[in-house]
Structure 1
Amino acid sequence: MTDTSTHRREPRTDAPRALTFDEVHVLASRITRTMESVISGKPDAVQMALTVVLAGGHLLLEDVPGVGKTMLARALGTTVGSRVNRIQFTPDLLPSDVTGVSVYNQVERRFEFSPGPIFANIVIGDEINRASPKTQSALLESMEERQVTVDGTTYPLAKPFTVVATQNPIEMEGTYALPEAQRDRFMARISMGYPSADAEVSMLTRRESANPLDTITAVVTNDELVAMIDAVGSVYVSPAVTHYAVEIARATRSHPDLRLGASPRSTLQLVRAARALAVIDGYEFVLPDHVDRLVRPVFGHRLVATSRALGHSGDSEALISDLLDDVVSATPVPAIAPARH
């Protein structure tokens, strides 16, 4: 079942105007404030969602039902003036329901491609791990190569393209584990967690009369979002910070308690995310602190602990978190002057 909502704007033939770092920071602050007006008491989740979008990545939201995963994804989609499609993943969903299918036109006497909901700027995949592994694999090409191949023909996806997927914990009924190749394509994974008492009271009060999503509108255009992503790509990363990120990744690959360490793709995405976080924080270059803050959400879902380590711990998530803490603390931090832009 697919539910599609679209934010349409008049097409433009000219290229988006290049933005300065100050302009990107101002627009990012505007997006953050708008999203936080809907998502109460979760500033870290809001910041991470925006970081992933500006870094050109994909976000995985994992937590128990009812804590606001889909609300966060929809708030992000509403705040940016881009085309947004939502896919409800179910056990009977087929790959063609995601990518599209060729349909025979009896008048023209030829097959025509009917695009699926994957053809959007922001694709909200709700409860992605309720679909079968075959359907989940339909996202692999689109998430990595920004294109879809159907019946031997390749169709490019729009720019920007971001998948914001939600999933329930694997121990819950009716879920399938995401394969390692699928998890590795998500730039970051975060958990929403339960709100504080004050935030929950505020949520109950505001939702008595209206849906908070009805009170917000797009605060940036799609062209502005593209320009923000382009500007983030030019943020300076010193060789020392690059080496620091690589050393953290290499340490996970040789750790005795990890069967699967961070992939080279994850190192690349760590640096890209650090660029975006730097601009959100008001910097025009990346600090080691930006890397430190992103190691857990970027690396955590990619690492696999050994059976021996799991036997001693019993909690895979807590074990991975502790191991990453050890790796980061043991990696020498380069000296970078903390000057603001």
Structure 2
Amino acid sequence: MIRAKLAGVLLLYAFVSVPHAEAILVAYEGFDYTNTSSLLHNRAGGTGWAGGWADNDQDFNGTLTADDISLTSPAFPFTPVGDRINALGGGEANRLLGTSFDFTQDGNEFFGSFLLRKAADGGTSGDAPEFRLISNLTTTAALRMGIGSGETIFFDSGAQATTGSETLNIGDTQFFVFKAVSSAEGDDQFFASAFGPGDTVPTTEPETWDVMLSEAVDHIYNGVRMHTGGNVVGAEYDEIRIGDTWADVTSATGFILGDFNGSNAIDPGDLDALVNGLFVGTSYQEGDLDQNGIVDLRDYNAFRDIYLNAGFTIEAIQVPEPGTVTLAVLAAGLVAFARTRRVS
């Protein structure tokens, strides 16, 4: 079951409002990349993914803003990080999830959210920026949603499609939230809503959504796609979340990125947890910051920035893989580096 597979995955990029209020994020992408390039292809940040973004035909080349400016909205409940995607004209970019949602089975349920802004009116056709849940990187098995050429929310589960009744203002950042529930024998259920700058996002899952579809599909959703029509003048994407509940993708929750020991702060105990788990740990509590199933040097290097920002000193080092050094010596060295608090 999906819940069993995801039980150890924690929400990484949100901050505490209720102490130790757990949430589960299947995947998160805030486009928080170094500003060395605007190329999206092969960028592999965030957490919960199986590899980086794929843009093999390079039609999303240059869309990563590389300016440390995120999309935001008064309705958006999180603090955005990093950059955003700014697409001009038609194109697409795909990314595989680290888990999958089998809609041939009964009772699989997941939620998602993202920010989407349509910058200008490109005409009456081919003017839709959209987000898709896809199967094996194909476009034919997809759950599609976005802002249509008529400036309303559109929703498409395959054979079934619908649009919302409310016009979405061009230039406003919309906070999209969606839900999908599988049924082995009956129709699968799909829901979506868009929240503009003046809207309030409910604290609990609403009884009524902007759009809803019922359709029996046999897809195994295991990836996402950002897709823009050929007449799109400008479309911006940011803050993609896939989770297990409404709260996972719509409200700030109680885990701080890198707080492996659950102290509600970044402290030397978090480094101890990572070092002790290095090359042997498999869980977030053991230091698996990027949730790829193993605590490795990528986790150490990512945690280093967090640790420095918390006021501690920790050195950047390149460490050989196991078999070339004694891990006990390595662990002792890393802990020693981290014990000195930065002088303010």
Shorter-chain TM-score above 0.5? no
TM-score by length of 1: 0.29
TM-score by length of 2: 0.28
